Structure 1
Amino acid sequence: MALRTGIALGAAGLVVFGVTVPSATAADNVLRADSSANRACHTAVQSRRAQGIDQREVTSTVDGLIQARLAPRDGAEGDWDLAVFDKATGKVVAAAAALRSRELAESFVKKGQQLVVQGCRYSGSARSVNLGIDFLALTPQGTPTGSPQQPQRAEVVRVETPSRTDKSKLLSLGLDVTEKGDDTGVEVVLADDADRKTLRESGLRSTTVDADLSRTARDDAAKDREYAAKTQASGLPSGRTSYRHLYEYEYEMKELARRNPKLVRAFTLNHASVEGRDVTGLEIATDVTNAADGKPVNVTVGVHHAREWPASEHTIEWAYELVNGYQRDPAIKGLVGKTRNIVVPVVNVDGFSISREAEPKGDFSRFDYEMKRKNCQTADSPPQFRTGICKANPAGKDRGTDPNRNYATFWGGNGASTSWNGETFRGAGPFSEPETRNIRDLVSKRQVTNLITLHTYGNLILRPPGVADTRAPLDEPVLKALGDKMASRNGYRSIPSWGLYDTTGTTEDWSFWTTGGLGYTFEINTAGFHPAYQNAVVAEYTGTAPAAGAGKGGNRAAFLDMLGSAADPAAHSTLIGSAPRGHQLKLHKTFQTPTSPVLQPDGSTKPPIYVTDTLDSTYSSTGGRFAWSVNPSTRPYVAGRYGREPQGPKQTTVPLTNPVGVPAENTDYPGSPVSESIPFTVKGLPEVDNGRFDVVVQWTSPQTDWDLYVYNAAGELVTSSASGGTNSEKATLFDPPPGNYTAVMVNYDQVDPASPDDWANGRVEFSSPVPPTYGTREAYTLTCTNRNGKLVGIADVFADRGQTVDVGEVCTNSARANKERRR
């Protein structure tokens, strides 16, 4: 076999060599099968005489990795799958089952291990395919000597971030910040003593949530084995009882398509991954091959972040839900008939494959590949870290780009890392990564009216915008209402994305601000990135205990709400008119949108980058009248910002009287109630109209630390501010309901307790509501071409959300119809 020559990575602590496999003839490079068979290649070693099978036996000459690849032969395209088995036990070692003949099966092997490499012709006309096998020798990673590095204790802590300043400070530390948080704190993974030192020196306060992540990971794995062993079928639509491998996703998707050819189509997205893997998706609709039928498109995607396995599980279970429901549930059948649904379970195929196949460690060290978050990009790493394959390289899991910080909208601003090894590294530029280009191409070519991107963890439904200073879009009431409705099903919190912390370059922000399609992020479960399957997948999806959505419907019901929104004409726009049979209508828009000013590693900024987007979608006329579901013609980025007109003056400032004396120091609030309380009243209409209030207190020395908490009349915390290293606190509440409130001051720390630095100048300042702002209206260019591709009609079309626009006989009388619409 023609195999790669070796490379040495030297002092970084990892050595990789390509080793030629002993094999006799060039014919061993070609797998052949005269017929195909629809079977799972990865389930078992088949008889050599079995239909659609060809095999090679090899012996590993290394302790390390096997890489087995398939590639088309002589330009013939077909669908071949690949699997590697341990010959002695028959257990699968590695596999791949994408839709074409471009496969990569990769995993760990031992020196002397006898292996069976099996190619399976699943479908298509290609009778042969090229096979390549590499063995890569690995030494232990992590030290210059090649000896294993002892992992340090990994833990989860909750960092107190009661103010936006605190959240920004936390994000700047380069720690592994999770998506589990609320108004006053965020959970963070501390992998080692260096992380603990970074957090300690920041001055941010924290409490331990999970003192031993490795133990938790072992416990979860044991629970998964026990559940799968005792459970024949779960309550999921597929009945699945354990986390899937990438090759299982790939195989199940094409089987769903094969078994339901009129309802399901499996397809390959436009861009292969960094390592050359195809990315597979499903389209589900009646008359599924007619993608230009004018129905609204509902998209669900999973696993931008490799370690977030429940995200892909929920995505593919949704596909099963639609297929099963179409056959058995009249309500789902009706919704499927009105929509087109696209699911992409695994966006980041390289990273997920590595995370899923990695040796479980749970220590979050550099070489804990199970906890890899990013993709496999190498170009942005320092030269000494660019060598080696993604599964075994001198930078470990730290190398790569976070795909969910690589979309164009607000890219370059706060909320993403500028460092190549940061967990939220934004990449070299907007859409620099194949993962984001795939989703961009998909959304840009369809009228995607609704989109959910799935992540873990935090029990959150996040809506645009990702940056607080952006201000809410004009669609805020629509986005909030749908988010709240879905949250009523799964028990999650429905908040703007910035309510957790600022994020830039995210999926739903780009999709929404660019196209107007309603977009959300779900953060599934509260227990971790891929905790026990029974809880994070089965319970969360079906809405059973212990999920927050128990008895409410869970994510299944939330996804159905999203599907109902996609089917509702009031949630998007509709074009109606008439066109001859066989004519094609096309909606087109091209525009530029600036990123954020691009933050540099030294804290300076450079001017925004202007990114060009092109939206093209088509409708194929069946003759006569048509109805085409589309997004509003004006993209939200330029449409304006949400607000409300003041209905009265703002309330005058209310002074806060400092009670006599100074309470004792208290570092355990609210565990210890020692504090002082100051009541105040917020008035309402018709007397005043308050858009926000700010409770402000001050003292003398930044080394003194007072904390501020504000409660409503029901005793609920509504806002707080508990920063350190300042001589003031400010707690803000937007659109405060009228009523009685209480400001609670906690004496956290005094420079000199014998001479207390008491707070003073306390006050409640009020601001009027910010009126809405309105931008420029945009139009689609609508064209019509006849059967021969000749342009026969053209018009500008303006459409608002919920509006139905009659474009008339656009293919035969477009000029007159356009003038009449403008009168």
Structure 2
Amino acid sequence: MPESAPRFALPEFTRSLRTFASPEALASDDHARLFGPLLAARTSAERVQGVDARLAAFDATRLRGELQRALEEIARAREPRSDPDRRALAASLDDAAAVARSALDAVAAAAAAVRAATSDAARAAAWPAWTSAVGALFEGTDRILRALLDGRPRSGGAPRAPVANVVALAVLALALAAPLAAPLAAQRVTLRVSAVRPESLLARGFDVVGAERGSALIVADARDRARLAQFGWSGSEVRSLRAAVLPGAATIPKPYRDYDDSTRGIRVWIDSIARANPTKVSVDTLGLSYEKRPMLAVKIGPKGDSPARPNVMFVSTYHAREWAATEMAERLITYLVTTSDARVDSLLQTRDIWIVPVANPDGYEYTFTGDRLWRKTRSPQAGGAVGVDMNRNHHGDWGLDSIGSSTDPNSEIYRGPSAASEIETRNIEAFHAAHPPVVAMTYHTYAGLIMWAPGDIYGAVPADLPAYQTVAGTNAHSAVIDHLPGSTRTFYSPSESWTLYTTNGDYSDYTALTFGAISFTEELSSGYGIQGYYGFEFPADTAQLRQLFDDNLPFALDLIESARDPSTYFSPTTGHRPSAVQLESMSPEVRVTVPAALATSATLTAGSPLSFHLDSTGGAKWFRRLVASAGPRPTQLRLTLGGASQNFSVLGYGGAEATDTGWTLTGFKRDTTSSWAGKFSWHIGLSAAANELRSPVYAIPAGIDTVTVMFWTHYDGSGFDEIPDGRVRISTDGGQTYNPLARVQGFAPAWYPVRATVGGVAGKKLVVSFASDLLSWWVDEVAVVAHGAVQVAPTSAARALQPSENPVKRSVVWFQWPWGTDVGDLHAYDMTGRLLWKATVTDGGPVKWDLAAAGLPNGVYVVIARSGGKTQRLKLFVTRDGR
């Protein structure tokens, strides 16, 4: 049933509340503490597809935990010094929350009744009881807020102003009264806040920039320190490896450049590289910033625009303090201008490549003269505040909620009074309208992430996911390997940007929704090196900046190359190509992505024809998602598309239900409070002990080539860390040995689907294994589905044998097989003719050669591909550092 169906509508839960919209409530911090999770759930429920997804948005277990955390934070904030008074207040708050907790029980029961219904009519009949229970939850929460404002839940006697709050307010008043002309005192610093979840700090408007075990990192000024005290929290300053220059200093640490310096600033550097390369480089002005600085875009390649050349956009440094992002843009410009090889020359002639080194020139300059950790623009705002977060100011999904952006002008994620209120944002949007991008990238620091739209709703997955994962890879095989010494990451994690935190009004969502662009946000570096944390202050070290660029260059080149057609592109870095058909889920709903041009003519059959709706989440220019209800756990699916058919056969399901036998649980337990389908899911908490969820053995028929493993999941990790994570492995020998299949990490409080495909399994004995490394992880509705060979773009003629890079600077090189699905082999020889490596190709490649595992030195090698009577060869140059 489509989400717009009247029988499954969401009523307005807040209209009748007594306290919710009162001025005294809106002015209270307790309003955000108590209602923030409920409003976020309501927003998610409105935006997601399907009844089950709406139920999941109001997951009772998660909301019960949020309510408990809110009550604990209120007690700490009001009674920070007296343990007996705090305990008494907490007990009184528990009494006030009785109605809300009872409503949560009703929400869980009503949701289970809706899920248990076996027809749309039965679900519609159960739906009002669920919405009534959610309404009662809002009412119960409103009662808690009213009791707090009335002063009733207090430890003894008449209402009184807690001493901690009075002191905090006095500190805040002093902070507000401090003169702006005190540059060192006004400097923002990074604080480590212990025993507070990053999500709690984000919900209260703090600038959360990292997470460590048991603590969160925030960038804070004097106002933020005072606000921390109001909540009963405190932070210790983190001393970073400063790449900074103190305000007023005479020199800027090379190789960094400020914007205005007349000898080596950004503007001068751009002019100089354009003058030195007049046939390759041209410069355009997007417009002037608020402080009248020219916003510059560098074009690499032929002058002028051509409809035959797709537009590629790179935009750096939305946030002023992120100097290494500008350095990445400068180095990419230099590389494209100075490198002459067949691939780069071809890209420059067939793409319009635009690079904006600094999107926020006023804020960027201010980080060299006023405050190293300044983030926003420099325009005056209401109440004496300064600046807007440009990456919350774009059209598209601007102002969707006050979690992914803020209405507070003092907040670091202030979205501005209206969409594109900032002149810098308007200039960027006008430039993009004149040069509509096919692919786009915005560089930020830091976290070691490759993120894409949508970023505004937890659990939302773009219909263009096959194109995104082709270029960026997955957590099992990322496009970016982190080689920086001392980094806390080994690779950049590719995922929807909400796995870090939700955002709205950001660049990636704007370009995806407006132009259908395959649009990425990359958070460069983990923020840690050999000497510890540096955060935004990436060391002013040429060798490390070069390594940062080298790590990210293959991804950038693939992105440029993919602009010709993201729906069929083969990435030599990840070894991926989009499948024309990608099955994401069989149950409780069928979800399959198909080429956008063919979507409306598709048919789905699961025993009988299925009706479906088209999902265009995240832009959906290249692919569309077919979403249908096929009843409980269909065993067969047939997709007809463009005159061809694809058959899918389910080998087995698993989801913790009583009928799901044969699964082995070590550490995992059946969870009765949160499920995506049926009544139960599997869950493991925060445990360092050995654990595993293991499937039965599936005997793959001899005629089956390919299997896709899919499951629904949510988890409580951190987007800032590589660990905790959850890992999925696959065995094709009955459980004797395993290979990595998929990996999840980050923060995902809403259910969403994960899938991974493996080929060459005919006649094998397959086992799937799930294991957690400190991740609180829920897994449900696992399906193991057999189908034909992974579909790829047709290849009517042979391509050239193509390595992922040449010369090779990485530990692994991938080869694109030149003859489609024809079988054959690859051999590699040294210059004496000695055979070093061989591989058989049966499914069209790509083919991986692990140079590090082979222990090969730098040098020249000959690679030969053979298929039938056809032969291709190439010389491979290996120039790895340290070899």
TM-score (norm 2): 0.45
TM-score, length-normalised on structure 1?
0.48
* More helix per residue: 2
